[in-house]
Copies of this chain bind each other. A is one copy, B any other.
Amino acid sequence: MAGAAPVFVMKEHFDLPAGFAAGTTQAGFKKEGRDDLGLIVSEKDAVCAGVFTTNVFKAAPVLVCQERLKSGKPVRGIVANSGQANACTGDEGLANCKRTLAMVGAALNLDPETLMPMSTGVIGDQLKMDKWEAAVPALVASLGRRDAEGFTRAFMTTDAFPKFASQDIALSGGTVRLTTMAKGAGMICPNMATMLCVVLTDAIVDPAKWQALFARCADKTFNRVSVDGDTSTNDTILALANGASGVAMTTPEDERVFEEALTDILHTTAHMLVKDGEGATKVMIIHVHGAATDRDAEQVARTVGHSQLVKTAIYGRDANWGRIVAAVGRSGVAMKPEDVSVQLCGVELFRNGQPLGGNFDAALEGPLQEENIPMDICIGNGSGSYTLEASDLSVGYVKLNSDYRS
């Protein structure tokens, strides 16, 4: 199955950045007849940055990614599967994960230690190694024949739509491309875990700065969305820069333009995750300001965004601002009631700890039909602020998350 030197063809990039190729196949990890195994390969060594779940129970692929990033070796590819999370699988799961990379590495004639794993699916089940063995030849043979959408579909679980985006960025030395491919948001799926995201660019980046730059952009975007507050065991974002465009960031303006574009495309991708939260019908955009610190503002935003009562009120298109104020008040952040003001969809409902009069139901009837629901919450005179995007809580969410096995 493997030839001499890397065997994959790079001629058809579709929308991927230069020097990257994608392949997928149907390994049979899932019941549906859908691709469930994907591969990304870079023709050159790529600089890799990674952002991972903070859950104590990190899945085997997360542990392997972290170990490989630590080694500082360049990265040549990503192997991603759905149907099996390989989380809470102990030592056997760790060994299985490395064996799958060894199989793919052998087929590609690449050092398996330059391959990064990603898995999503049922927690606690061991990988079906026989299916991996059988699927790898077809996976490798498909390389260069899939686009960003194809790869994204291979690691989707119950996502309603594939989440990917590409953008060209004009730098002083030429144009580079940036592509993101993502799935899920939080542990959104019936028995499935995980937010996974692959970011590719053909820009030449400074290996010493890439991780910090990427982590900064991810923190401003991916870490500010929530579907259900359940941080998965598998959350992984890998960002590969292979330099195949031949274009480097040579001026401070280039760096600024690139970072802004990266933040933008990550924000677009993260927003898609919330929009496609299980059963989600709306995205609450919760902006908290006037806090003593950004951390305080974040705590308030997360308390509101995770409140079942706020989430169900927004699902029900109910101008029930008391639930928002009550969530702010139980956030654990010190504040004075008289410093707190709340706007919903641009309508001020509560100012300096006092309710405002008026027919809110009529004023908000229209805005609450919209898909995006902005909330503006001021809790004092500090300079701390935070914006969280969170989905609502619908009957569909409960049905999806409770009906799977019963």
Interfacial chain B residues near A193, Cβ < 8 Å = 322, 326
Interface residues of A (CB under 8 A from B): 53-57, 85, 87-91, 122-124, 187, 191, 193, 228-233, 306-309, 312-313, 315-323, 325-330, 335-337, 340, 349-350, 353-355, 361, 393-395, 397-399, 401-406
**Are A309 and B401 interface neighbours, CB within 8 A?**
yes
**Are A406 and B231 interface neighbours, CB within 8 A?**
no
- Tell me, in angstroms, the Cα distance from A187 to B325 when the chains sit together: 13
Given contacts A87-B322, A124-B355, A193-B326, 12 further A-B contacts (CB under 8 A): A55-B326, A56-B329, A56-B335, A56-B336, A91-B354, A123-B323, A228-B307, A229-B308, A312-B398, A313-B401, A318-B404, A398-B398
Interfacial chain B residues near A319, Cβ < 8 Å = 405
Interfacial chain B residues near A327, Cβ < 8 Å = 230
Interfacial chain B residues near A322, Cβ < 8 Å = 85, 87-88, 122-124, 191, 193, 233
Closest chain B residue to A227 by CB distance?
A: B308
Interfacial chain B residues near A398, Cβ < 8 Å = 312, 315, 393-395, 397-398
**Are B57 and A337 interface neighbours, CB within 8 A?**
yes
Known: A56-B335, A124-B322, A329-B57. A312 touches B90 (CB 8 A): no
Shortest C-beta distance, A122 to chain B (Å), equals 7
**Are A330 and B56 interface neighbours, CB within 8 A?**
yes
Interface residue from B325, B354, B402 paired with A315 (Cβ < 8 Å): B402
- Tell me, in angstroms, the Cα distance from A207 to B193 when the chains sit together: 54
Q: How many copies does the complex hold?
A: 2
Offer 29 A-B interface pairs, CB within 8 angstroms, sorted by A: A53-B330, A54-B330, A56-B328, A56-B329, A56-B340, A57-B329, A88-B325, A88-B350, A88-B355, A90-B353, A90-B354, A123-B320, A123-B326, A124-B325, A187-B309, A187-B323, A191-B320, A230-B323, A231-B326, A231-B330, A232-B326, A233-B325, A233-B326, A308-B393, A308-B401, A312-B397, A317-B405, A319-B405, A320-B404
Interfacial chain B residues near A316, Cβ < 8 Å = 401-406
Interface residue from B313, B315, B355, B404 paired with A90 (Cβ < 8 Å): B355
Known: A123-B323, A355-B124, A393-B398. A230 touches B350 (CB 8 A): no
Closest chain B residue to A318 by CB distance?
A: B405
Shortest C-beta distance, A10 to chain B (Å), equals 38
Shortest C-beta distance, A258 to chain B (Å), equals 32
- Tell me, in angstroms, the Cα distance from A91 to B353 when the chains sit together: 9
Interfacial chain B residues near A321, Cβ < 8 Å = 124
Closest chain B residue to A59 by CB distance?
A: B326
Closest chain B residue to A405 by CB distance?
A: B318
**Are A312 and B402 interface neighbours, CB within 8 A?**
yes
Closest chain B residue to A189 by CB distance?
A: B309
Interfacial chain B residues near A395, Cβ < 8 Å = 395, 398-399, 402
Interfacial chain B residues near A406, Cβ < 8 Å = 316-318
Interfacial chain B residues near A326, Cβ < 8 Å = 55, 57, 87-88, 123, 187, 193, 230-233
Interface residue from B53, B124, B320, B353 paired with A405 (Cβ < 8 Å): B320
- Tell me, in angstroms, the Cα distance from A334 to B346 when the chains sit together: 41
A-B interface, 8 closest residue pairs, ranked by CB to CB distance from nearest: A123-B322, A316-B402, A90-B354, A57-B329, A312-B401, A56-B329, A231-B330, A55-B329
Interface residue from B91, B233, B325 paired with A123 (Cβ < 8 Å): B325
Shortest C-beta distance, A284 to chain B (Å), equals 14
Closest chain B residue to A402 by CB distance?
A: B316
Shortest C-beta distance, A380 to chain B (Å), equals 11
**Best-buried of A306, A319, A329, A340 by chain B (most CB within 10 Å):** A329
Shortest C-beta distance, A151 to chain B (Å), equals 26
